[in-house]
Structure 1
Amino acid sequence: MKNVLLVSEQGVTSHLFLGEAKRVAETRRAALHFTAAGCAELAPELLAEQDLILFTPQAAAVMDTLHTDALMAVIPNDIYGWLNSESLVKFATKELAATAVLACITAPESLGADRGGLTGNPLGTTKHT
């Protein structure tokens, strides 16, 4: 289960998204747990629990001030403007999947020959002769 935090300036818009996003994630059986907060509620403890933090366009300026290991993104205007929770769940899933793919692509290179990896061979395949 991945934790996704929805952030808006005062917390109103993020809470409007919250209920429907939870329903859509449950219906689609997406392994996402949504929570919502306003910018003033962004405590280090809350941020530390998140895998993905999604900001409304108005709250995007806060991204540069946060110190977290979580992936951060701005909710696209077409999703935000229509409060489209279905698209929000898809967007969150894609953002998290993109990070997982990037980790898979970079991981084989970090495996040296001493760890059984094939240096310079990101697919990990061998050539049989």
Structure 2
Amino acid sequence: MRIGEAAAAAGTTPRALRLYEARGLLRPPPRTLSGQREYGPAEVARVRVIRDLLALGLTLDDLRRRAHHLDLLVQDPPRSCTSGSGEFSDVVAGRLAVLDAEIARLTHLRQSLAAAARGPGDAPVPPTVPDGSDVTPEPER
């Protein structure tokens, strides 16, 4: 199938397929005599795995460094995510730590906003950065 059909089947855009190819996540597909890319079901399945991993918070660089594992994930996602050298497990653990830190930051921000909405006497003291300077953002106008 041509790039537009493959992109639609994978739930993405032709531009994304070209990006994945340029980043080494997708092997260059065979081309027709007129130079158009031709994709098969295996490439569509790989793109779906790439999209799923990106949706989970991994980056293109994370995937590029472990592109050789993507075929394993296409073949058997549940088993291969936890087996082997643990490279993907390490990446996932790192992303989980980043997400946990972001959740904590956003939770604190939400609590601060909720307190501010209740009234000026209930608002917590704004956080400071290590050098002691105020990190309270200017209100939008």
TM-score normalised by length of structure 2: 0.32
TM-score normalised by length of structure 1: 0.34
Rg (Cα) greater in structure: 2
Identify, as 1 or 2, the structure richer in strand. 1
Identify, as 1 or 2, the structure richer in helix. 2
